[in-house]
Amino acid sequence: MTERELIAAIRARLAREDRRIELGIGDDAALLAGGSIVSVDALVEGVHFDRRWLTWEDVGFKAYAAALSDLAAMGAAPVAGLSALILPRELEDAAVLAIVDGIAEAADAFDAPIAGGNVSSGGVLSITSTVIGRADRPITRSGARVGDGIYVTGPLGMAALGWRLLARGETKEPFATRWRRPRPRFDLAPQVAAIATSAIDVSDGLLADLDHVCRASGVGAAIDIDEVPVAAHQLELARSIGEDGLELALTGGEDYELAFTSADDDQATKWGARIGTIVERSSASVVDREGRAIDLARRGYEHR
């Protein structure tokens, strides 16, 4: 089974029609009857991070902030969170408390207080964050319509470049901080939610995330690659280490900007840069301006 097939099989086994669940497995977060929005995300050592490239505070901050971003992707504001730590026995107390300090820092930064949690020992360090939020108008992945514009709220590829530089032993700002200290776009989420037909946070990489939106909405996305925003010096810096800064923008992930669709171009361009248009679905869900498939072999790493 491919990873996608396994995930689909898991969903099929767990999905239930239930009046208590308005929107279940498959979007950025679940929507419960009564308006609560809930999501869970795990950060696992050796899979999502390497302790050489982060302080312990960074690890805690990144774990909780990345989880919170799923609320921003739904147009929601945070209410509270739960933090479940699995800690190797050999991890020193000081490291554990530094991780917790990082979680607390993110909780304070994004107004998402920790209401509870769990501590367990285990062979591999992981931080699993449950986030709970509310939205006046929850935005899902499934509302994109042909003709809608496609927008992103900020530069992409910065986190991926920062991570690649860190892995080479180079700490270059603002790229390193972008990867170490994600910032969910709660500052823009309500404005985006007011005018968006669909939204997602760019966590897997722009092409992979737009593919999620296209599949959920039954549409295609035509992207003007030259319009995808990148940071100052991103392309040169990427080139200096043999990377393509634009490819990182398309596939890098972990930027946690919002990608959204809207039929209201005047309003949408206040909050994001227009990078394309929703089109009829063809064999490839994401295509370039000329309608040609973008090489999906290069799309973002699918977290598993």
Query: Residue 12 burial (CB < 10 Å; 0-12/13-18/19+)?
Result: exposed
Residues 46-65 that bind its own copies (CB under 8 A): 46-48
Binding mask 132-171 for its own copies (x = CB under 8 A): x---------------------------------------
Q: Which of 9, 146, 167, 293 binds its own copies (CB under 8 A)?
A: 9
Question: Cβ 86 to its own copies, closest distance in Å?
Answer: 6
Question: Cβ 61 to its own copies, closest distance in Å?
Answer: 13
Residues 6+ apart with CB under 8 A from 122: 86, 87, 88
Q: CA nearest 204: which of 37, 70, 102, 56?
A: 70
Options 13-21, 146-154, 161-169, 264-272: segment touching its own copies (CB under 8 A): 13-21
Edge-to-edge strand ranges of the sheet holding 149-152: 198-201, 258-262, 149-152, 273-279, 220-223, 286-288
Q: With respect to its own copies, which residue has the nearer C-beta, 1 or 232?
A: 1
**In sequence order, what E strands does the chain have?**
21-23, 30-32, 36-44, 77-87, 114-121, 126-134, 149-152, 198-201, 220-223, 258-262, 273-279, 286-288
**Measured between alpha carbons, how far is 156 from 229 in angstroms, rounded to an integer?**
6
Tracing tokens 């302790």 back to the chain, one arrives at: 51
Question: Cβ 151 to its own copies, closest distance in Å?
Answer: 26
The answer to whether residues 2 and 304 touch, using CB atoms and an 8 Å cutoff, is no
Options 127-135, 163-171, 230-238, 292-300: segment touching its own copies (CB under 8 A): 127-135
**Measured between alpha carbons, how far is 141 from 108 in angstroms, rounded to an integer?**
28
Q: With respect to its own copies, which residue has the nearer C-beta, 4 or 52?
A: 4
SS3 label, residue 256: coil
Q: Is 8 in the site for its own copies (CB under 8 A)?
A: no
Residues 223-252 that bind its own copies (CB under 8 A): none
Q: How many residues does the chain have?
A: 304
Residues 67-86 that bind its own copies (CB under 8 A): 79-80, 82-84, 86
Positions that interact with its own copies (CB under 8 A):
1, 6-7, 9-10, 13-16, 18, 20-21, 24-25, 29-30, 32, 34, 36, 38-42, 44, 46-48, 79-80, 82-84, 86-87, 93, 96-97, 100-101, 103-104, 107-108, 113-124, 126, 128, 130, 132, 303-304
